Structure 1
Amino acid sequence: MAPKNLAEVPAEEVAAFVKSFDNILFDCDGVLLLGEDIIPGVKDSVNSMKEMGKEIKLITNNSFRTTREWNEIFEDVELEFTSHDVIFPTKAVIHYLQAKKFNKKAFVLGQPAMVEELKEYGIGVYDYKDCPKLKHVSDLEDYIGDDLSIGAVIVDLDFNLTYPKLMKAATILKRPDVHFIFCATDKTAPFGENYKIIGSYFIGETLEMITGRKPVILGKPSVTYNNFVKKNYKKIDPARTLFVGDSLMTDMLFATKCNYQKLLVLTGTTSYETMMSCSKEVSPKYYLRSLGDLHKLLN
C-alpha cells in the first residue's frame, strides 16, 4: 500500500493514529532542523505533542555537536529539549568503549566535536598530523604506518579527510584486535534548503572493502544503536512508539528493524517520488510534507 499523506486522511483516522503511540522518537536534521535553523511550524507541532502527554526523545546520526553545543542549538531555536533528550553516535561510542575497558587511543575519522567529546570522557585520541602535498606514492610511507598505541578506528563524516588519513586507518585495521566502529551510515545528509552533502557511508564502505573487516555500527539503522537507545530510554515500548524521520534507508529502515511505527517527512533527504517507489521494508504508512504541518491537524 502506498504511503498516505496524514494531512489528507479523515480526522477520525488522524485521531486513531495519534492515540496509537505514547512515545515519539524524532530524527533531528531534516525533521526538526535544517542546518542551524528550525523548520517552520516544528516548534508548534512538538509542543502540541507534549501537551497531549507524548514522551519525546531525539535519535540522530549527527555527531557534529558536543553535548554543550546540543544544549546551545536547542536554546537558540527555542525547542524545550536538552542534551539529555538526544542520543547521538558519540554517546554510543563512549559507552561501547567504556564497557570494553578501552585504554588505548582512538583514531578518529570525524569532526572536532567528536574528538572533543571523547576526550571529555577520558578516551585518548590519536593526534594525526596530516602530510604536505605528495608527489609520488612512495611519499606516503611516513604517514600511513601503524601505531600500536591505537586500539580503535572510529569512522564518521570527516570534512578534513585525506587519502593518507584514510590509508592510515586501513593500515591500523589490519590488526584484528583493533575495534572498528562505524557511526553514521547515511549516504547523504540535508544541509540547508538547497542541497545535500555526501554522507559518511562511503568512507566506512571503503574501509570495509579494503580491509575485509566488519564494523560495529553505532548509528541508525543499526539494532546495536537501538540497544543503546533502550538502555537510556527504558519506557519505550516499540509497538507504542512512533519514529519520525526524513530518510528511508536510515530512519525508516531503523524503525522497521526496531518495530517502531513510522512517519516520514519530506523536508530532508527523501523526495516524494523516491518515497512512492520505495520497497515495502522502508515504506511508511503515513507521511507529511513537513513536521510543521502536524500541529494544524491536531488543532
Structure 2
Amino acid sequence: MTNKSQPQHILKLSAEQRRRFVDSFDRVYSDIDGVIYTLKVNVPNADQAYAALERAGKQLTFVTNNSARNVDDTVKRFAMANMQVKPEQIWHPAQTMVYYLQSIKFEGLIYIIASPEFKRVLREAGYQLIDGPNQFIDDTYEDLARNIFDKQPVRAVVIDVDFNLTAPKMLRAHLYLRHPECLLLSGATDRLLPVAKGVNIIGPGAFASVLIEASGKQPTVLGKPGRALGDMLIQQHNVTMPSRVLMIGDMLAQDVRFGRMCGFQTLLVLTGGCTLDQLQAETCPEHLPDYYADSVADFIQLLADIAPKAHV
C-alpha cells in the first residue's frame, strides 16, 4: 500500500512499484455499477481486465449497493458484459441484510422501505414484513394519521432503494423507531446515484439520513461503507490480512471509504461516479484512495507489463 498522501495512477508507477502493487494483494472486492457497466453501457474491456486479474491468481468478489437488480439478473447483466460470474461471487444488499439478521438471531416484525426484489429476498428467508402505505392518500391530517399510526410490534425498520418512496412511508418509519428496541437497518448509503456520465439522482442515503436525524438512532449499515458488511466479508472469506485485499470502486464516499474502513487497499476508477477533478479536489483522508485508474481496463496493460515476473 502506498504511503503517499495523494493517490497514484497505476500506469504511472515505476516497473518495480507495479510489481510490488500486484504482489501486494490476493483478493479483489469490486463494485459493479460504474466500474464494469453503467445503466446501459459496458465499460470497454472491463471483462478482459477481470480475466487478467484471475489469471494473475486474484480471487474476485463483487460487492454492490444496487438492490434494484436481484442476484440472478445481475449474473445476466454480467453476461451482457462478457463476464461469467457465479451467484456466490456477488454480495447483494438484500442478501447481506439476511446474513446480518440471521447472525443476530433476529425475531419480530420488520417495516421495510425497499424495492420489491429486496423484499422478496427477506420474505423468502422467512422474515415477516410490512410496508406502505402504497396507495394515494388525501391531503388531510385525518387520512395521514390513518396511514402512519400503527400499533403493530415492529422491531426493525429497514431502508434501502425505493423508487416509490413517499412522505407517509418515512413518517410511519419514524413512528416505529420511537420504540427503544426498534432497530434501524440500512442497505445502500449512496446520497447520489450515478445513472449516466455526469448525471446523478438522489440516492437512499439522503433519505436514511432523515430517519437518523429524526429518530436519534444510529443505523447498522449493511451496504458500503458499513463496517458490518466489511466484517461479514472478512469472516466469510477468512481474510486474515485485510491489507492484502484490494477494493475497486468508482465512488469516494462508498467504495473508497469502505475499503479504508476495513483496512483494504483502495483503487478508484474514473468511469462512474467520480471525475478526476473531484478526486483531485477531495480533502477528506477517509475518501482518498491509494491508487486510481482511468478504467479498470488499465489492469490489462499493468499486468501484461509485469507478467513474466509476477507471482513466481
Bin for the TM-score computed over the shorter chain: over 0.9
1:294 aligns with 2:299: yes
Q: Partners in 2 of 1:240 and 1:99 — Cα distance?
A: 26
Which position in structure 2 is the counterpart of 1:254?
Answer: 258
The one of 151, 155, 159 equivalent to 1:155 is 159
Q: Identity over aligned residues, as a percent? A: 29
For 1:77-88, list aligned pairs within 5 A. Answer: 77-88=81-92
Find 2:121's aligned residue among 107, 117, 121: 117
1:91 correspondence with 2:95: yes
Unaligned runs of 5+ in 1: none
Q: 2:189 aligns with which of 181, 185, 192?
A: 185
Q: Name 2:310's counterpart in structure 1.
A: none
Distance in 1 between the 2:102 and 2:23 partners?
Answer: 39
TM-score normalised by structure 2 residue count: 0.90
The 5-angstrom pairing of residues 1-299 of structure 1 reads 1-235=5-239, 237-278=241-282, 279-299=284-304
- Label 1:146 to 1:89 Cα distance change in 2 as closer, same or farther (>3 A): same
Shift of 1:135: 2.2
Letter in 1 for 2:14: P
Give the deviation of 1:122 after TM superposition: 1.2
Equivalenced residues, count: 299
- Matched to 2:197, the amino acid is E
* Aligned-partner Cα distance in 2 for 1:101–1:259: 28
The one-letter code matched in structure 2 to 1:72 is K
- Give deviations 1:7-49, integer Å, cap 9, x for gaps: 2333332222111111111111111221254311100000000
Matched residue SS, 2:17: helix
Q: TM-score, normalised by structure 1?
A: 0.93
Aligned-partner Cα distance in 2 for 1:63–1:87: 10
8 Å CA contact 1:92, 1:225 repeated in 2:
yes
CA distance in structure 2 between the partners assigned to 1:118 and 1:138 by the alignment: 32
String of CA shifts for 1:127-146, please: whole Å, max 9, x gaps: 42424242233331111012
Structure 2 distance, partners of 1:68, 1:119, is: 17
For each residue in 1:145-203, what CA deviation from the matched residue of structure 2 results, as whole angstroms up to 9, or x when unmatched? 12424322101121100111111111111111222101111111221335122111111
- Asked if structure 2 preserves the Cα contact closer than 8 Å seen for 1:180 and 1:215, the reply is yes
Letter in 2 for 1:264: L
- Which segment is superposed worse, 58-67 or 95-104? 95-104
Change (3 A) 1:127 1:170: closer
One-letter amino acid of the structure 1 residue matched with residue 47 of structure 2: K
The answer to whether the Cα contact below 8 Å between 1:239 and 1:261 also exists between their aligned partners in 2 is yes
In 2, the alpha carbon distance for the partners of 1:128 and 1:241 equals 40
CA deviations over 1:32-79 (Å, ceiling 9, x no partner): 221254311100000000011111111222222223223322233221
C-alpha deviation, 1:255, in angstroms? 1.2
Q: CA shift at 1:218, angstroms? A: 1.1
Q: Do the aligned partners of 2:250 and 2:269 also contact (CA within 8 Å) in 1?
A: yes
2 CA distance for matches of 1:236 and 1:206? 37
Is contact 1:3–1:287 with CA below 8 Å preserved after alignment? yes
- CA 236–178 in structure 1, closer or farther in 2 if over 3 Å, else same: same
Tell me the secondary structure at the aligned position of residue 242 of structure 1.
strand
Which deviates more from structure 2 when the two are superposed, residues 5-14 or residues 238-247?
5-14
Question: What residue identity is the alignment partner of 1:286?
Answer: Y
Superposed CA RMSD in Å reads: 1.8
Q: Which runs of 5+ in 2 are unaligned?
A: 305-312
Aligned partner of residue 84 in structure 1, secondary structure: helix
* AA at the equivalent of 1:221: P
- 1:102 offset after TM fit, Å? 3.0
